Amino acid sequence: MPQTTSDTSNAVPVWGFFKSVTRSFTDRRISLWIALFGLVVALLVTLVWLAGRYEASQYQAELDRDAADAVSDLQRGFTHHALSLQNLQYKSLSNQLWHGEISGLLNQNREWLRVEKRDPQFAVVDQANSPFRMPIFDAHSHLNEQAEIIQTCVRAKRLNGPAYSRSYFVPQASGMGLEVMEMCLPILEQGILSGYTLLTYGLQEVLAIQLGDTYGRRNEISFTEPDGTRLAVQGSVPRTKRLFTATQLLDLPGTTLVLRMDGRRAGPDLFPNVLPALVTAMSIALVSVLVLLVKDSRRRLKAERDLADALAFRKAMEDSLVTGLRARDLKGRITYVNPAFCQMVGFKAEQLLGASAPMPYWPTEMVGEYQQRQAVRLAGNAPPREGFESVFVRQDGSRFPVLIFEAPLINVLGKQTGWMSAFLDISEQRRIEELSRASQERLQATARLATVGEMASLLSHELNQPLAAISSYATGSLNLLSHHTDLPPAQTFSDLHMALERIAQQASRAGKVINSVHDFVRRRDQDREVVRPQTIVDAVMPLVQLQAHKLHVRIDVKMDESLSPVLCDRTMVEQVLLNLARNGMQAMDHPDCHKRLLTLQVKKAASSLSHGWIEFAVIDLGVGISEDIEKQLFTPFFTTKPEGMGLGLSLCRTVVEQHGGHLEFEAVTPRGTLFRFTLPTASSL
């Protein structure tokens, strides 16, 4: 995934902005969740309420239908009764037979309480009571309603069919009473009114017989006054139940009754039927899912926050790095660079991201080599662990050396997606190395000059002898030439010849002495060369001898046979050997020191670790090295000698270590010190 980088200076505001954006997102998300939760609860309540209402309206409609059906059942029943009575009238039966027939009808229709036969003047001619109860009227009581009866019968006559009276209450002997209604049917004989049949209905019985079976089980059925007063009731409903009421008008010729039906239902239930129950169950499931979602979102929020923290941490880390970082995909395109890398090469991240070979920071003349190196890397070859050096060009054209470490970039699935490289700008390191090398060289040159100064005094001492000899030979020769002696000329000539030969010899000896110093000072060959240990020893011997002579020291050289040649900077190693020999001889320049022997020993290194190495040892029998001196022995400018510079040993160690060897010393019994150093043989490398 390509990533861009930003300036370190921008990091803080960007992070602050990121945090405030995250906070506002979080606030908004919480209010969204609350709104969603509220909506779901409102939806759930509305659904349950609507479902309840729907169920109630369904039931109300059913009750209304039942009430309408009940009214039509009643009307059918009344019509049927009227027809039965009309049939009877047509038969013009004798009183006895009428009684028989009427008794039969009274048996069949229990809601009939009484049937009267009246003449056209409304006087009772005959009567029959229901066999199922005591007669409801005594001889006079029916007369109380005479006016109503007359009115009904007049209407019946006018209608030429049945007419019904208003209902009225008939008190009974038992203290109770009952609501009744009259039905009057005119009797016509050949078109002439011959009387009336008056049928008294018990309203309670009408409800029980005609509607009780069909509607009475679940409902309370009643006839009521328009003001709601109940006239007759059938069935009862527990008051605890939810009550539904339907009213229907029962229109009868002459009167109108109000039929009221009270239905009982277990309610209002929370789950009145399957639909609301289903809706509720689904809503509960929805709420549960919501709760799970909230939990999940909270977990996600936490993960997001952790991720943001980790990102901020990583960014701070990357920004604080001085190491340049660069990621490439498997095709060699740059997918990521950190600010340190951009700073190093002077290009912006946008200029580098997506770039592929040749990179803008490659030196033009090295593009081929770098491309080849990249091809090797992309082919899957791991780079050296310790890194490798390269040269890059900044945008301003300046070049600088870099140390590159590369490692494969592995993704979560363990698949390699590219290469991650770390860059160290080593130009400063190189500069310091160069400085240190130059100062080291200067120091060495100074030390050599100091040695030369020392040599000069030795030279004057050593040259004294040949010069004195030359001078005396020259004086002798001059004497021979100026004073003619008794000697024959041949003798004189031979003496002169000998004197001149001696002069020449002594001059050549003096020349050799001077040359040995001259050689030492002039020769400065930096390169390492393969040189035999013997040659090194031979080269320093004349100079060592010079000092030995002065300090009355005997030199003993012990060289193993057939030593392999060593690979070294010859001049420097010679100086090391010379320094050590000189130190050894100076250590023996003490009145107490009677035996003055300096041993130069060269042999194969004994330790198995230094197999293939040659060991040089310089052993003196001098004053030795005290503990105090030992601590500072290799510190530059530490010296115990009045004319010393204190650079000898520190330089010796540097030179030996530059060759990969090491310099050490140990005390020699009964007195003296041994200094040894090692050098690699040419064949061991």
How far is 598 from 587, CA to CA, in rounded Å? 10
Nearest to 14 by CA among 348, 339, 423: 339
Tell me the three state secondary structure of residue 674.
strand
Dump the DSSP string for 503-547: HHHHHHHHHHHHHHHHHHHH----S-EEE-HHHHHHHHHHHHHHH
Neighbours of 219 (CB within 10 A): 25
For residue 565, the 8-state DSSP code is: P
How far is 354 from 504, CA to CA, in rounded Å? 82
How far is 349 from 8, CA to CA, in rounded Å? 13
Helix (H) / strand (E) containing 264: strand 255-265
Q: Residue 86 CA to chain centroid, in angstroms?
A: 99
Backbone angle region of 197, left / alpha / beta, with phi > 0 → left and psi within -120 to 50 → alpha: beta
For residue 31, the cross-strand partners are none
How far is 6 from 618, CA to CA, in rounded Å? 64
Stretch that binds ligand ADP, among 218-226, 334-342, 397-405, 639-647 (CB under 6 A): 639-647
640 near ligand ADP, rule: CB under 6 A: yes
Instruction: Mark 299-338 with x for binding to ligand ADP (rule: CB under 6 A) and - for no binding.
Output: ----------------------------------------
601 near ligand ADP, rule: CB under 6 A: no
Residue with smaller CB distance to ligand ADP, 566 or 578: 578
Return the ∠ at Cα 571 (arms to 566 and 574), rounded to 5°. Answer: 75
Residue with smaller CB distance to ligand ADP, 350 or 556: 556
183 near ligand ADP, rule: CB under 6 A: no
Closest contact distance (angstroms) between CB of 649 and ligand ADP is 4
Closest contact distance (angstroms) between CB of 447 and ligand ADP is 9
Stretch that binds ligand ADP, among 77-85, 221-229, 498-506, 635-643 (CB under 6 A): 635-643
668 near ligand ADP, rule: CB under 6 A: no
Closest contact distance (angstroms) between CB of 539 and ligand ADP is 19
Tokens at 560, concatenated: 């193993």
Closest contact distance (angstroms) between CB of 453 and ligand ADP is 11
455 near ligand ADP, rule: CB under 6 A: no
Binds ligand ADP by CB under 6 A, chosen from 644, 660, 671, 684: 644
How far is 586 from 578, CA to CA, in rounded Å? 12
Binds ligand ADP by CB under 6 A, chosen from 52, 263, 276, 648: 648
How far is 175 from 188, CA to CA, in rounded Å? 39
Closest contact distance (angstroms) between CB of 652 and ligand ADP is 7
Binds ligand ADP by CB under 6 A, chosen from 539, 623, 655, 663: 623
Tokens at 213, concatenated: 């079976």
589 near ligand ADP, rule: CB under 6 A: no
671 near ligand ADP, rule: CB under 6 A: no
Tell me the three state secondary structure of residue 52.
helix
Q: Dihedral (C-alpha) 61, 64, 65, 68: value to the nearest 10 degrees?
A: -160
Q: Enumerate residues 522-581 that contact ligand ADP by CB under 6 A.
A: 579
Stretch that binds ligand ADP, among 225-233, 304-312, 591-599, 633-641 (CB under 6 A): 633-641
55 near ligand ADP, rule: CB under 6 A: no
Stretch that binds ligand ADP, among 50-58, 186-194, 570-578, 616-624 (CB under 6 A): 616-624
How far is 57 from 44, CA to CA, in rounded Å? 20
Residue with smaller CB distance to ligand ADP, 432 or 629: 629
101 near ligand ADP, rule: CB under 6 A: no
Q: Which residue's C-beta sits nearest to ligand ADP? A: 648
Closest contact distance (angstroms) between CB of 500 and ligand ADP is 42
CB–CB of 420/327 below 8 Å? Answer: yes
How far is 360 from 280, CA to CA, in rounded Å? 68
Number of residues in contact with ligand ADP under rule CB under 6 A: 21
Binds ligand ADP by CB under 6 A, chosen from 150, 625, 668, 682: 625
Binds ligand ADP by CB under 6 A, chosen from 19, 230, 442, 641: 641
583 near ligand ADP, rule: CB under 6 A: yes
Q: Residue 442 CA to chain centroid, in angstroms?
A: 58
Name the CA radius of gyration of the chain, rounded: 70
Closest contact distance (angstroms) between CB of 516 and ligand ADP is 20
Residue with smaller CB distance to ligand ADP, 230 or 554: 554
For residue 625, the 8-state DSSP code is: -
Binds ligand ADP by CB under 6 A, chosen from 343, 610, 639, 684: 639
Residue 470: exposed, middle, or buried by beta-carbon count in 10 A (0-12, 13-18, 19+)?
Answer: buried
629 near ligand ADP, rule: CB under 6 A: yes
In sequence order, what are the residues at sequence separation of 6 or more whose Cβ sits closer than 8 angstroms to the Cβ of residue 85? Answer: 105, 115, 185, 197, 199
357 near ligand ADP, rule: CB under 6 A: no
Stretch that binds ligand ADP, among 343-351, 398-406, 606-614, 631-639 (CB under 6 A): 631-639
443 near ligand ADP, rule: CB under 6 A: no
Closest contact distance (angstroms) between CB of 637 and ligand ADP is 8
CB–CB of 377/419 below 8 Å? Answer: yes
Question: Site residues (CB under 6 A) for ligand ADP?
Answer: 579, 583-584, 587, 620, 622-623, 625, 629, 633, 638-641, 644-649, 673
